[in-house]
Structure 1
Amino acid sequence: MTDTEQMMNPVEGQADWLQRYSDSVLGVFGSPPLVLDRGEGCYVWDVDGRRYLDLIGGIAVNALGHGHPELVAAVSKQAAEAIHVSNLFTSPAQIRLAERLIEVAGAPAGSKVFLANSGAEAIEAAIKLTRRTGRTEIVAAEGAFHGRTTGALALTAKAAYREPFEPLLPGVTHVPYGDTDALDAAVTERTAALVLEPVQGEAGVVLPPDGYLQHARAVTAERGALLVVDEIQSGIGRTGRWFGFQHAGITPDAITVAKGLGGGVPIGALVTFGSHVSGLLGPTQHGTTFGGNPLAAAAALTVLDVVESQGLMAHAERVGEHLRQGVARLDHPLVAGSRGLGLLRAVGLTRPVAPALATALREAGHLVNPVAPDALRLAPPLVLTTGQVDDFLADLTPVLDRVLEEDPA
């Protein structure tokens, strides 16, 4: 439809837009319930003008919320100067971002950064890194999600994602998450790498037991395997630290980063820790057209600066704890408590009513993610306030009551 045709036949509602979506967009995401038009802070509006408190945050992407003035200004300025330059060359923004990521990760001398466009691409780079050790076996965890490209999919555990595309990359073993005995048995002198999330987001915001990451670090070091920590969802201040592994006080061999790093601008990164790991990949052994482009790098630098200057890591801890306490006070028969770190949280449910609850909450003006049948995932902007949490909790109880009445069994 041309612009003139659209003016003569305006599209005004969700149903019209969703029909056009169905007619034109490949249906890999199913049928979306909303067409979102704009956002401001922690709120978004649909094309019908209804406002929602965004507790999904682009699935941990919109770290600064929507329309943050410093991010808008940085992206606008960089777009006017240079959006893209080939990786035959480099740019000041790309170099500064690499330096800054090494700094906030606490990585040692000799550490390096490969900039990509997404978390899955960062995982693909990590897989190639592990292959350069001369070993080919990789250990990952049950419940893991590392992406949907074919290499990343081999590390992802969910059968529904994997099975339509098998055979996948060989040599990948999945072990129970949080089980140190399983790590001892699976990580051997043939293992190239152990790949773990410090918090399993797609599995329902699952935390490992205390000491698990420390044990993972010890067993990989003992057997000459790399420890790769997937910080794609847990990184950039979301858990109250720059990265989730920092809660455990360990030094991994590499981390993957994406989502919140660009505040909504697509970007991903692989950070290698120390020269012994950084030296595994050399010229011609990996690459990307768009990775590290000046626009994405400028956005990421701004996100890192705002998270630090506005104290958003400590803020995420405070607001996350306020949320935890508020959920505990609900004392509702459908609520089994909450779990998580910082502002990566799940509300646990006593019954598999998460999809119905998410729909009812959306009708009440709150966007949440039914990540599992018995869990709602919350990964809101790091600028979420305690007042906004209270608004959500005030609406949560009547919604829970309604869902319970509709399905009392």
Structure 2
Amino acid sequence: MMATIDQAKQVIANTYGRFPIVFESGSGVTLKDDSGKTYLDFVAGIAVNALGYGDEGYAEALKEQALKMCHVSNLYWNAQNIALSEKLTKWSGLSKAFYCNSGAEANEAALKFARLYGEDTRYEIITMANSFHGRTMGALTMTGQTKYQKHFSPLIEGVKYVPYNDSEALKEAVGDQTVAIMVEVIQGEGGIVTIAPAFVETIKSLCKTHDLLLIVDEVQTGIARTGHYFGYQAFGLEPDIVSVAKGVAGGFPMGVSLVSERVASKLSPSCHASTFGGSALGSAAANYVLNKIDDENMLAHVNEMGDVLKAKLEELKGKYSIIKELKGMGLIQGILIDDALPTSEIIGKAIEEGLLLVGAGHQVIRFVPPLIVKAEDIEAMGQILDKVLASLTV
């Protein structure tokens, strides 16, 4: 393993703080490294691997499409992408889909589409402090966390930040040049922070009164992760632009910007593009994922497993005072840990015990397992985490 990692360090850019593990294969909700050790995976590629690992139908769908064609230019149509667009617009209630390769790219598209809607007179976007929207320059600017923006100034103009769930601050930020409000219904990288009902009502009122677009970043919360097709559906929001990625194609790179008719009416050939966006191969992967979610009633499963996960975390909270708060919903949940115990120690010890966890914001541990997770997997996770916390809090 170490020889492989030493080799990797010679040829792969140092942009990630990686654990010393080389994974080779997976099955269901477990992964196996190159030494044969197995790990229970509650990271899922950070909410990407919706169907876990080794799904034979998924592999067959990719193989079948690859034998036909992987990609043609967007100068033409492909049937897989048309079918996918029909499904996504039906799920979301929005009008049209634009395809790219990642969540950051989907948010870049959202930024451009909002400015198109503003017709050069309104261009400001209000986004939230502690938000995360990606690492490309537009998405980075819309991300309300200075730690990600350090060394990359000057950022683009026309973005304002307000505290999340602060209705008065949001009202004060709206001006004559404001064209859109951008929000996550659950701030994933920001610490699994959920939107407040009063803030929802303020957003709806401001958008209606000032003809503002509502952009909802569903990169992490979309595609059944919350127990709804999209997280905003749990909170009564009606967005004009929804950015989607992560779980949509089950691990195949894909980003999507879904738009309402009033945004779609502003789009025209050459206003935006993505060479690989909506490829036949990626669309086949996404069609398989979305069809399986519907065919196997996975929304109900996610809600059920979300309740099981919450109950297990509540049990641990009752046992360990170091856990201060439970956060999230469905299969995007978190625990807030007292500052006395760094979450990195918990995550590191959990890895030693064969459990993969990931942090989210300050002192929060995030739980985003594959959507196929079962009650016995959650019980096994709880037993390992119990052992870890016991060893670190004696």
Shorter-chain TM-score tier: over 0.9
What's the offset of the Cα at 1:115? 0.8
- The structure 2 residue matched to 1:122, chosen from 95, 102, 106, is 106
- 1:366 and 1:187 map into 2 onto residues whose CA distance is 45
Q: What corresponds to 1:303 in structure 2?
A: 289
Preserved CA contact (<8 Å) 1:187 1:220? no
Preserved CA contact (<8 Å) 1:139 1:194? yes
Preserved CA contact (<8 Å) 1:327 1:393? yes
Between stretches 16-25 and 329-338, larger displacement belongs to: 329-338
What's the offset of the Cα at 1:396? 1.3
Between stretches 134-143 and 212-221, larger displacement belongs to: 212-221
Q: What corresponds to 1:21 in structure 2?
A: 8
- 1:386 and 1:141 map into 2 onto residues whose CA distance is 35
| Superposed CA offset, 1:39-70 (max 9, x none) | 11100011111000110000110001112122
| Superposed CA offset, 1:206-250 (max 9, x none) | 102124223212212211111000000000000000001101223
In the superposition, the TM-score normalised over structure 1's length comes to 0.93
Preserved CA contact (<8 Å) 1:196 1:230? yes
What's the offset of the Cα at 1:188? 2.6
| Superposed CA offset, 1:52-108 (max 9, x none) | 01100001100011121221111111111110101111100111111111001022x
What's the offset of the Cα at 1:140? 0.3
In the superposition, the TM-score normalised over structure 2's length comes to 0.96
- The structure 2 residue matched to 1:145, chosen from 124, 127, 132, is 132
SS at structure 1 position matched to 2:197: coil
CA-based RMSD: 1.2
Flag as ranges the 4+ runs of structure 1 deviating above 4 A: none
Between stretches 156-165 and 30-39, larger displacement belongs to: 30-39
User: Is it true that 1:392 corresponds to 2:381 in the alignment?
Assistant: yes
- 2:195 and 2:20 map into 1 onto residues whose CA distance is 33
Aligned ranges 1:148-167 → 2 under 5 Å: 148-167=135-154
| Superposed CA offset, 1:20-57 (max 9, x none) | 11111000013333111111110001111100011000
Preserved CA contact (<8 Å) 1:234 1:244? yes
User: Is it true that 1:383 corresponds to 2:369 in the alignment?
Assistant: no
> Could you say if the C-alpha distance between residues 284 and 379 of structure 1 is closer, same or farther in structure 2, counting changes exceeding 3 Å?
same
- The structure 2 residue matched to 1:401, chosen from 384, 390, 394, is 390
What's the offset of the Cα at 1:373? 4.2
Preserved CA contact (<8 Å) 1:22 1:31? no
- 1:89 and 1:96 map into 2 onto residues whose CA distance is 15
- The structure 2 residue matched to 1:272, chosen from 252, 259, 273, is 259
Q: What corresponds to 1:342 in structure 2?
A: 330
- 1:365 and 1:260 map into 2 onto residues whose CA distance is 23
**Equivalent position amino acid for 2:334 in 1:** A
SS at structure 2 position matched to 1:139: strand
Between stretches 73-82 and 321-330, larger displacement belongs to: 321-330
Preserved CA contact (<8 Å) 1:238 1:316? yes
- The structure 2 residue matched to 1:235, chosen from 205, 222, 226, is 222
**Equivalent position amino acid for 2:91 in 1:** V
- The structure 1 residue matched to 2:172, chosen from 182, 185, 197, is 185
Mark the runs of 5 or more structure 2 residues left unpaired by the alignment: none
Q: What corresponds to 2:206 in structure 1?
A: 219
Preserved CA contact (<8 Å) 1:355 1:373? no
Q: What corresponds to 2:36 in structure 1?
A: 49
- 2:130 and 2:308 map into 1 onto residues whose CA distance is 28
Q: What corresponds to 2:192 in structure 1?
A: 205
- 2:167 and 2:53 map into 1 onto residues whose CA distance is 40
SS at structure 2 position matched to 1:336: strand
